[in-house]
Chain A
């Protein structure tokens, strides 16, 4: 019994700590925990004993929510996880109340928006551990991204330089051309003026020259287009997405998979393959409706007659693969294959149009997704971020949009640099052959590529500088404050809104006016304080500064802001980052000592 009492009072103590700032409406663990309001009178009805609702037995009031299951239906434990059949009523202050499975009570996961299902103090430790793991991973990722970016920067710089030279070359020759033209015109004019008689001859010559120029131009454009279309097959993602749509439009309902594979597969090969072939080869069951194709049928016949030896290696491979993928087995064994039967069954159960609908849904999603690839990913990342860290003090991302944007672009698509390199190489090769007069489309291409590459380069450079800046920061001994980097914490105190952006700055807002309370300085007091200094100067006083004291809490939340001495502000931020196991244990030890009810039972050594 003593152990339990200690445990409960320790919990209560923890709550005191957590709720000092008066932040959230943390409910105390009363005996009526988890009971729906309408149900309370059932428990209050009789003075000492309560019946299990299933009538199986009775229990005393002291057994109500004592963390031991007495009624199989969970009547006696509405507020704990002791009875597996129990339900926990979650008030969910401010929202719709919920009824949770007892298995959710104190399991370390917040199911109630008001957090009332997680009243056990250990939660913070778990949260912190998770945060630390995530941070470590993220830092490693960013570091590797940084080195990758630096490498890319080098390559890109080279490319941009090449393009620049080419551009200048083009400009130069354009200039030259212009001069030549001017000169010609001038000469022509002079000639006209000087020799009117010869005008017929000159005209003829000019027109011939023009024709010649035209025809070479045409040829060159053709060459360029060819090389471009090759490139497209190899690298143009959008085009293949277009093809996905095309597959669907052509009524081949389930070939999303196969075409998606193709899109990433060997493109040179693909060009040679027919659509039918590929849908047989790569299709792995999403396509129940594929008809048996004639040539495959003969393969199967060959097989059925035991003559696999006449199959090519590839045909044999495909054939054996098709057993697992469940295609065309009907022919193979005359419809006796169990998998084949199932196939038919599933057709009955899942009409084809349902599938088609599904896949049409995918289809359009696919198209959109890839067209808006970057934006979408960003959105998702943000969404998740909100879910993950969202809490009442509504931290938000600061200047993270473009960062994530680029990081997605650069990390999710490792081959973009190769693409650019290849494009540039192709351009340079084509344009190398150039001669005056300069082909305008070639020139435009070079210019466009130059502009794009240099834009990309500056993007990369700024990402590099941002990353470098970020990684320079001290995120705590275990990087537990990593996630603070892109967060700001807000707290409204009377007419002021305080905004604390760790590693950046802090401010006080009143309506439209903003006062800077300080720029990020450092952590103090072994990571229990965040210091901001050099804020706006106080009239006749020091520069404003802010100390943010940190303490363990289940959420990141600014609970209190004060100005103990003029222009020196102090805030309190509760965060799981401070929830250290040792701390909790120390607290408990202290408590135990205070009680002095029995000799200490330390962990087994």
Chain B
């Protein structure tokens, strides 16, 4: 008996102590759908319950406009429903915009919030002015429908009764539709009845809800879709699992509500730091389409598994491979965009034509960042910096977390720990390195703090429901939050970054915005109360998800102004919203040092890329907890391919700089970081591609192989650009990994040069690195010399790695500019296309000609050209126009790393990257 008892006790203790057995995520601190009245209500509505019909269809200002009215007007027990105004507009490249709002002429109690400064101004110039609308009777409708032109292959249809909007291929198959299941509902603002109680209570917090219910919900269907993707940020799979339907047990919808979630779990539809209400569908049958709802209030989105509506659906041929979704938002208006694709890259191009493409980062920002909460003082900083040199590990940026400040008052320094911040930065700068300090939106309510004083006097803080400055608790204790919705306040904030105002800052200092969801420790769900008031009487509930975006925007603007518009800003933000890509990088927040978080980082980053945010990464090593050396090594090996590559750690964790885990592990982590530096020219070229076209730096396999079904739900591997495939190793003690290599062409192992067939799964040895392959038919530019930081690599020569496909051809690109200024916008860059065919490599310029504007020149040369898959026989090569012969011999594939197989190498062609030339193998 006794032993059994002891056994049990021991077991219990084990259970209690084992860290992974218990999640510390405070689930009940956050509202689920049932505790959220608008969500509960929308979810319980029956299909077909929408009784609106479209009338008064006309063309005004080049748009189609209509009124939505109730089909069965004035039932006695109900208030009469006022008509809603609907507008449909077509934009270039197959984009349909749908707006639905209350009729402003009917005097609503309040203007509903439309999110400003997200849509780029250029987009509005792309509007197609509608000339006419044709009429057509579809199905057995009693009313006809209005059909409008969208693009050469597509048209938009407004079905009057029942009300429905859809996009179809010209006269043919449906692509996307809204309200096909009659779930559309629009709660109009109204005057409160005496007996009504509009307040909502949660966990001791009361939301006064002075304007009452105002939610909007509707269903959206994607046709010819095998999967849907997007709507970050969630820690979950890339292909979104259904949240409702016959096979789904009691699940929450995907929630979009920016929250600072302590120790978020690795697989949950729960909302975390950022929100992008943009969903993409992809399927073998049709390709790709997308739907974006510009709305900053809390949103909940259900992905409905097939059969979710039981028998009630009418089976049409187009219903095959249809995915239905339900979108619910607490406030705002309908401002939705339909994108027709038809291919994955079209979708991101179309979406980023609305919200903007990635701002081109400075070159240094694409290299490795070293962070920790906290590098304690100047001595610590100097020590860490010199250790990198001692171990010949490059890094570009050293980060300082909140402890560097004087009492968590941002823009100040703890003068005991950091007496000479300028000198410290200059020392780093002398090695071509940079520093980043943290600046959060919560300002300490301390009368002696100049920012607080100023913000108070000028009335720049967000107000609480009673109109007083909102007072919440964050790192510094009692804090207030500048109202970033107001452009004047953003401008004021931006000025705080001038060298004069930010005492102790130098030109090599850049910024990190954390806690901008905003995080409020003593607020409901660790954020700001929804009835807090912003500029223009906007309620916090209406703009919550965009608060961090405006903060990010103002900070980035501050850095641009600081450098007289000559220096590209770098600002990392935790919260984000559509358009954040224009202001800097984001990271996936406070993850944990476990294998699951390593694994989920890939779908999270891929999803961000799909929704425009190309410059993202996860904390390498995991923020909370101590990673085992093996996990840390694996994380570096994967992280080296994240667009944003930063090591970071919580202050209670042990130090984990790459040299602290024995020689072997140091070697592996150094190697991983070196790979990133070696590939910087390739990465930078990809960042430029994202800057021009919106196509993300890292991509799901299906973006490059849209017809290969095996890739559609693969989120353990990903593409870096169109040439590299990388897969992490996500399990402990793995010696081998199974890697699916898509497409019909072969792949070359990045480390060994071994050829692998495409369209097959391969068992790959992974003891020294993670699987990484170059796709046949591509050319990757590298820099094989290693330096302390990317800065010193500027003049180093290039290596081109040409991986030939079955027709002995390949092509690639190289983009180079000064790496920091905006001169590239005026044409100061080099953009080359390399094409190899018929035994000849040609370099030609891709830059558009800019006459007499800015120019960028470089003396860089190509020192080595590696030819993978070339039929044997070539002994030398002829360079034209110089008419010079160079030798082809066997050389190493990699200059680092012990075992490097000999590969065909053109030795010292020494052609300038700025020049046109050809190199012919003889």
Any chain B CB within 8 A of the CB of A308? yes
- Decide if B914 is an interface residue (CB 8 Å cutoff): yes
Known A316-B522, A370-B416: A338·B884 in contact at CB below 8 Å: no
Contact across chains for B419 and A376 when beta carbons are under 8 A apart: yes
Residue-wise interface mask of B (425-441) relative to A, using a CB-CB cutoff of 8 A (1 in contact, 0 not): 01101111000000000
Q: Are B262 and A2 in contact (CB under 8 A)?
A: no
Tell me whether B895 is interfacial, beta carbon within 8 Å: yes
Query: A1 touching B884 by the CB < 8 A rule?
Result: yes
Give B423's nearest chain A residue, CB to CB: A384
Cα separation A141 to B788 with both chains bound (whole Å) = 30
A313 at the interface (CB under 8 A from B): yes
Check: A426 CB closer than 8 A to any chain B CB. no
**CB–CB B500/A285 < 8 A:** no
Evaluate contact between A281 and B19: CB separation under 8 angstroms: no
Quick check: B650 and A103 within 8 Å, CB to CB? no
Q: How far is the CB of B610 from chain A (nearest CB, A)?
A: 30
State whether A338 and B446 are in contact (beta carbons under 8 Å apart), knowing that A264-B407, A321-B521, A601-B915 are contacts in the complex.
no
Taking a contact as CB atoms under 8 Å apart, the answer to whether A324 and B17 are in contact is: no
Question: Does residue B855 face the partner (Cβ distance < 8 Å to A)?
Answer: yes
Q: Which candidate, A41-49, A82-90, A477-485, is the interface stretch facing chain B?
A: A82-90
Asked if A101 contacts B392 (CB within 8 A), the reply is: yes
User: Does B786 belong to the interface (CB within 8 Å)?
Assistant: yes
**Listed residue (B24, B624, B650, B863) with the most chain A CB atoms within 10 angstroms of its CB:** B24
Name B394's closest neighbour in chain A (CB-CB). A103
Q: Is the CB of B895 within 8 A of A326?
A: no
Which residues of the other chain, A, contact B522 by a CB distance below 8 angstroms? 313-314, 316-317, 320
Residues of A within 8 A of B406 (CB): 261, 264
Task: Give Cα A541–Cα B409 distance, bound, in whole angstroms.
Answer: 66
Interface residues of B in 393-418 (CB under 8 A from A): 394, 402-403, 406-409, 414-417
Interface membership of chain A positions 336-348, coded 1 if the CB is closer than 8 angstroms to chain B and 0 otherwise: 1111011101100
Contact with A along B443-470 (1 / 0, CB 8 A): 0001110000000000000000000000
B446 and A266 within 8 A (CB)? yes
Question: Inside 8 A of A370's CB, which chain B residues have their CB?
Answer: 416
Distance in Å: Cβ of B504 to nearest Cβ of chain A: 9
Least distance between B474 CB and chain A CB atoms (Å): 7
Decide yes or no whether A598 CB sits under 8 A from chain B. yes
Residue A210 lies at the interface, judged by CB distance under 8 Å to chain B: no
Interface pair A326/B652, CB less than 8 Å apart: yes
- Nearest B residue to A82, CB-CB: B785
B910 and A1 contacting across the interface, CB-CB below 8 Å: yes
A2 / chain B contacts, CB cutoff of 8 Å: 882, 884
CB distance from A502 to the nearest CB of B (A): 22
Contacts of B472 in A (CB 8 A): 317
> Which chain A residues lie closer than 8 Å to B912 at the CB level?
3, 601
Q: Chain A nearest CB: distance from B187 CB in Å? A: 29
Contact of A140 with B500 in the complex, beta carbons under 8 Å:
yes
B28 at the interface (CB under 8 A from A): yes
Within 8 A of B (CB), among A239-272: 257, 260-262, 264-266
Q: Contact: A336 with B19, CB < 8 Å?
A: yes
With contact pairs A321-B521, A346-B652 given, residues A72 and B626 touching in the complex (Cβ less than 8 Å): no
A119 CB, nearest partner CB in chain B, Å: 13
Within B455-508, the residues touching A (CB, 8 Å) are 472-475, 477-478, 499-500, 503, 506-507
Which residues in A have their C-beta under 8 angstroms from that of B855? 603, 605
| CA A309 to CA B201, docked complex, whole Å | 11
Chain A residue contacts of B263, Cβ below 8 A? 323, 338
Contact of A265 among B407, B500, B520, B785 (CB under 8 A): B407
Q: Does A290 contact B (CB under 8 A)?
A: no
Nearest opposing residue in chain A for B917, CB measure: A601
Contacts of B900 in A (CB 8 A): 72
The verdict on B861 contacting chain A, using a C-beta distance below 8 Å, is: yes
The contact size tier of chain A is 35 or more
* Cβ-Cβ contact count across A and B, 8 Å cutoff: 220
User: Chain B contacts of A568 at CB under 8 A?
Assistant: none
For A72, the chain B residues whose CB sits under 8 A away are 892, 895, 900
Give chain A nearest CB distance to B262 CB in angstroms: 5
Smallest CB separation, B595 vs chain A (Å): 14
Stretch from A63-71, A444-452, A544-552 contacting the other chain: A63-71
Residue of A nearest to B28 (CB): A306
B625 near A384 with CB under 8 A, answer no
Known contacts A108-B792, A109-B430; is-contact A338 B19 (Cβ 8 Å): yes
Q: Cβ of A157 < 8 Å from any Cβ of B? A: no
CB of B19 within 8 A of CB of A285, answer no
Tell whether A173 is near chain B: CB-to-CB under 8 Å. no
- The residues of B that contact A598 with a CB separation of less than 8 Å are 882
| Residue of B17, B403, B447, B520 touching A257 (CB-CB under 8 A) | B403
Alpha-carbon gap, A339 to B426, bound state (A)? 36
Q: Is A455 an interface residue (CB 8 A)?
A: no
Contact B507 A133 (CB under 8 A): yes
Whether B185 sits at the interface, judged by CB under 8 Å, is no
A81: B residues at CB distance < 8 A:
785, 787, 796
Would B895 and A339 count as touching, CB distance under 8 A? no
A317 pairs with B419, CB closer than 8 A: no
Q: Does A334 interact with chain B (Cβ within 8 Å)?
A: yes
Please, which residues of chain A bring their CB within 8 A of the CB of B521?
A: 316-321
- Does A380 belong to the interface (CB within 8 Å)? yes
Residue with the greatest number of chain A CB neighbours at <10 A, chosen from B16, B473, B652: B652
Q: Are A380 and B857 in touch, CB under 8 angstroms?
A: no
- CB distance B419 to A134 under 8 Å? no
B653 close to chain A: CB less than 8 A: yes
CB of B784 closer than 8 Å to a CB of A: yes
Residues of B236-280 contacting chain A, CB below 8 A: 262-263
A109 touches B788 (CB 8 A): yes
The reply to whether B857 and A604 form a contact with Cβ atoms under 8 Å apart is: yes
Decide: A342 near B16, CB < 8 A? Known: A320-B522, A376-B419, A384-B426: no
Contacts of B652 in A (CB 8 A): 285, 288, 326, 339, 342-343, 346
In the complex, chain B residues whose CB is within 8 Å of the CB of A377 = 419-420
Q: Are A339 and B908 within 8 A (Cβ)? A: no
A144 touches B500 (CB 8 A): yes
Judge whether B907 is part of the interface by a CB distance below 8 angstroms. yes
Query: Across the interface, do B784 and A84 meet the contact criterion of CB distance under 8 Å?
Result: yes
- Report Cα–Cα, A69/B414, bound state, in Å: 48
Query: Does A333 have its Cβ within 8 Å of any Cβ on chain B?
Result: yes
CA A504 to CA B551, docked complex, whole Å: 49
Contact yes or no, A604 B420, CB < 8 A:
no
Nearest chain-B residue to A312 (Cβ)? B522
Closest-CB distance, B594 to chain A (whole angstroms)? 9
Task: Report A361-380 CB contacts with B as 1/0, cut-off 8 Å.
Answer: 00000100110000011001
**Shortest CB–CB separation between residue A152 and chain B, in angstroms?**
16
C-alpha spacing A424/B653, complex, angstroms: 49
Residue B310 interfacial (CB < 8 Å): no
Q: Is the CB of A342 within 8 A of B419?
A: no
A261 nearest CB neighbor, chain B only: B407
Q: How far is the CB of A139 from chain B (nearest CB, A)?
A: 11
Q: Cβ of B795 < 8 Å from any Cβ of A?
A: yes
Q: Does A298 contact B (CB under 8 A)?
A: no
Q: Is B204 an interface residue (CB 8 A)?
A: yes
Q: Spell out B's residues near A (CB within 8 Å).
A: 16-22, 24, 28-29, 203-204, 262-263, 392, 394, 402-403, 406-409, 414-417, 419-420, 423, 426-427, 429-432, 446-448, 472-475, 477-478, 499-500, 503, 506-507, 520-522, 526, 590, 592, 624-626, 650-654, 674, 784-788, 791-792, 795-796, 830, 845, 855, 857, 861, 863-864, 882, 884, 886, 891-892, 895-896, 900, 907-908, 910, 912, 914-916
15 pairs, CB–CB < 8 Å, chain A vs chain B: A68-B864, A69-B895, A85-B895, A107-B792, A120-B795, A319-B521, A320-B262, A323-B263, A326-B651, A335-B17, A336-B16, A338-B263, A339-B652, A384-B423, A388-B430
The 6 closest A-B pairs by CB, nearest first: A317-B473, A309-B204, A317-B522, A107-B792, A338-B19, A320-B521
A1-B910, A319-B521, A320-B522 known; 13 other A-B pairs, CB under 8 Å?
A72-B892, A84-B785, A104-B788, A108-B792, A109-B788, A137-B506, A144-B500, A266-B446, A286-B651, A321-B473, A323-B263, A336-B19, A604-B916
